[in-house]
């Protein structure tokens, strides 16, 4: 049995576009988006326990352990796999909360992937994605493990190729609560659905984030960051905010912009990646169920 897994990557994602196309009877919004994985994110360490206890070893400000998605993910896997093993989990948090980068969802996905391997549960990728959806709409994408065109509430995924790009990402210094964005009366929910071919062909249609106008009206800091970054390219918000990004064709251009970001904002660069760094653990599983 594997006793320890260290430095397990939980990468950030960007929404290259995000359209709200409708709303279900249960209140969930119907979306279309393109998810892009980045070589920047959180990381987690896992130590297997024999007493079934699941413990987050370190404190995360503002996130009680009992409500942390990584603890919920571990307990969900434990219950569904019927294992009596537990884990000590250390979360090295780099991504901001409420940033639209998928940090919590990515942490949960990495927890499911890593503990499925360490506990030798043998659950398939599809089964892990089903469990992940119970934790949040973005979790299945990270277990899917490739850049993807997503529909539904984000759970219908199809792999796509995205350009090799470098991104400058700005954290405007505010947390944007997702419920506040989706419940805003200003939010339009009638963007015409597109086909995956429309995105894959990189046609010249305008790619936008339907949530951006709402976030900018509620959080002036987000609006200011977008306006500043737009002077260098096609900047927009990711997810429901607050982080904003702009793509560049090479690292040198990204570096040049990064040096000019005002000190009031935290900013960093990241490279587009094609595959989740933890995918090899899924591929190595045998007798999957």
Cβ pair 242, 172 in contact under 8 A: yes
| CA neighbor of 244 nearest in space, from 169, 165, 175 | 169
Buried b / exposed e over 74-91, threshold 16 CB at 10 Å, is bebbbebbeeebbbbbeb
Active-site residue flag, 75: no
CA-to-CA dists, residue 81 to 44, 46, 122, 127, 128, angstroms = 21, 17, 8, 11, 11
Cβ pair 171, 96 in contact under 8 A: yes
Helix or strand or coil: residue 259? Answer: coil
Cβ pair 40, 159 in contact under 8 A: no
Active-site residue flag, 192: no
Q: Which of 42, 68, 138, 210 is catalytic?
A: 138
Could you tell me the two tokens for 232? 């260098």
- Residue 117: half-sphere exposure toward Cβ, Cα within 13 Å: 21
Distance CA 76, CA 131 (A): 7
Catalytic residue numbers read 13, 138
């Amino acid at each position: 049995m594997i006793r320890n897994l260290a430095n397990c990557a939980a990468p950030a994602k960007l929404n290259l576009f995000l359209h709200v196309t409708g709303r279900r009877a249960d209140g969930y919004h119907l979306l279309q988006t393109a998810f892009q994985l980045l070589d920047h994110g959180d990381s987690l360490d896992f130590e297997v326990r024999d007493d079934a206890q699941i413990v987050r070893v370190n404190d995360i400000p503002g996130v009680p352990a009992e409500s942390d998605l990584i603890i919920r993910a571990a307990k969900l896997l434990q219950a569904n796999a019927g294992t009596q093993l537990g884990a000590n989990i250390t979360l090295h948090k780099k991504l901001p909360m409420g940033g639209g980068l998928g940090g919590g969802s990515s942490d949960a996905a990495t927890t499911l992937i890593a503990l499925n391997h360490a506990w030798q549960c043998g659950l398939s990728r599809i089964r892990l994605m089903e469990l992940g959806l119970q934790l949040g709409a973005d979790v299945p994408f990270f277990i899917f493990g490739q850049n993807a065109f997503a529909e539904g509430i984000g759970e219908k995924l199809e792999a796509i190729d995205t350009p090799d790009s470098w991104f400058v990402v700005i954290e405007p210094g505010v947390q944007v609560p997702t419920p506040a964005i989706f419940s805003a009366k200003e939010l339009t929910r009638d963007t015409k659905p597109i086909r995956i071919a429309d995105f894959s062909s990189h046609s010249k249609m305008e790619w936008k984030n339907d949530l951006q106008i709402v976030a900018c009206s509620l959080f002036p800091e987000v609006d200011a960051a977008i306006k500043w970054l737009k002077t260098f390219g096609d900047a927009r918000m990711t997810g429901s905010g607050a982080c904003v990004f702009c793509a560049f064709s090479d690292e040198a251009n990204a570096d040049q912009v990064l040096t000019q970001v005002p000190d009031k904002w935290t900013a960093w660069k990241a490279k587009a990646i094609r595959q989740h760094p933890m995918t090899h653990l899924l591929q190595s599983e045998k007798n999957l169920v």
